Amino acid sequence: MEAQIDKKILINSKAWGKLKKRYALTSIIVIDILKMTQKAGKSNEEATIKIFYNLFVDEEFNVHKLVKKHIEKPQSSGVFPGIPNFYSSFWDIITFSSTSINRADEESMKISKSMSDKKFVQDLVNSPFFGKFNDLKQKILDVFFEEYQNWRKNTYPSNIKEILPRVVFNRQLSERLTKEFEKEKQEIEAYEFERICKVIEEKYQDGPMLLNIRNISASESMFSNGYRFHHEIETTQPNQLQITIYETSLEQADTLQLQEEEFHVPNPTLLSHYSRGQYGTSFHLDTQVYDFR
């Protein structure tokens, strides 16, 4: 049974296998280029790294056409497309015969078939080859991760179903597993919620607080899985009394009328704070501290 499981969890995607072979082929070719240029004292790190990337992502299927396309000296100029300040003499050093290309192709095939996916991915992730050009390394990792996701979504489930007993899929067992899963999920959520609240309470000890949970999202990459907890912490304030004092003015006619008639009702005009675009001045009184009468 263990042997069957090991076989079914292998990434048996043809596209994945082609990517492994292309990466191995690219590594062999570029290592040969490094040896040639270093021996001649014409090494160029940036140019070599970009040759690696261009070889890897090129969709050319024919190995001989692929290699010659990226190592032959351009006819129109001495500048390699996409590689600035790349001197012409560099190309005179790089030579690959049909025999050497065939050898590289055969070696890459052996490597892609013999090396386990686990070791291959570890070597790629930990490879020091790319140096400061980590962005190109990440692009290559993304290509492999995308194909891995396709395999896991479209092929892996059917692989597993082939080795599981039919009884696993009966309705009764499925319902029991679902209930157990939901129960465990609730227990984990309750535990994690209490743990998170405790951490927040220890960090913000003063004053009442309100925890607003915005979202909990899954976060996964090729090498790790986890969850993101999106939240806001709101500190509540005690009830306060707001008082606004307005400044008013009276027209001259109202002023004269008040002098003549004691019970005249004037029509005051509110004065605004033009600099702030508002009327009146507001302030708060804490009813727990001040007694406003």
pLDDT one-digit tens code per residue, 179-192: 888 888 788 777 77
pLDDT one-digit tens code per residue, 156-212: 777 777 666 654 455 676 788 788 888 887 887 777 778 777 777 777 666 666 767
What are the b/e assignments for 223-242, b being 16+ CB within 10 Å?
Answer: eeeeeeeeeeeeeeeeeeee
Which tokens belong to 25? 């082929």
Question: What integer is the mean pLDDT of 92-109?
Answer: 90
Q: Are 19 and 108 in contact (CB under 8 A)?
A: no
Residue 253: is its pLDDT beyond 60?
yes
pLDDT one-digit tens code per residue, 113-172: 898 888 888 888 888 888 888 889 899 999 999 998 888 888 777 777 766 665 445 567
User: Which of the residue ranges 102-116, 120-134, 265-279 would you say has the lowest mean pLDDT?
Assistant: 265-279
Q: Residue 286 is inside which H or E element, if any?
A: strand 281-286
- Going by C-alpha positions, the residue among 192, 67, 48 that lies closest to residue 131 is 48
- pLDDT band of residue 82 (cuts 50, 70, 90) is very low
Domain map (residue ranges) of the chain: 2-159, 171-235, 240-286
pTM: 0.52
pLDDT one-digit tens code per residue, 18-55: 999 999 999 999 999 888 888 888 778 888 888 899 99
Give the C-alpha separation, 9 to 161, whole Å: 11
205 HSE (CA, 13 A, CB side):
1
- Going by C-alpha positions, the residue among 57, 40, 16 that lies closest to residue 95 is 40
pLDDT at 222: 53
- Going by C-alpha positions, the residue among 21, 78, 67, 77 that lies closest to residue 44 is 78
Question: Which residues 6+ apart lie within 8 Å of 210 measured at CB?
Answer: 233, 234, 235, 236
Question: What integer is the mean pLDDT of 98-126?
Answer: 91
Which tokens belong to 291? 């007694």
pLDDT one-digit tens code per residue, 62-77: 999 999 888 876 555 4
- pLDDT band of residue 284 (cuts 50, 70, 90) is confident
User: Which of the residue ranges 6-20, 173-187, 222-236 would you say has the lowest mean pLDDT?
Assistant: 222-236
Give the C-alpha separation, 88 to 73, whole Å: 8
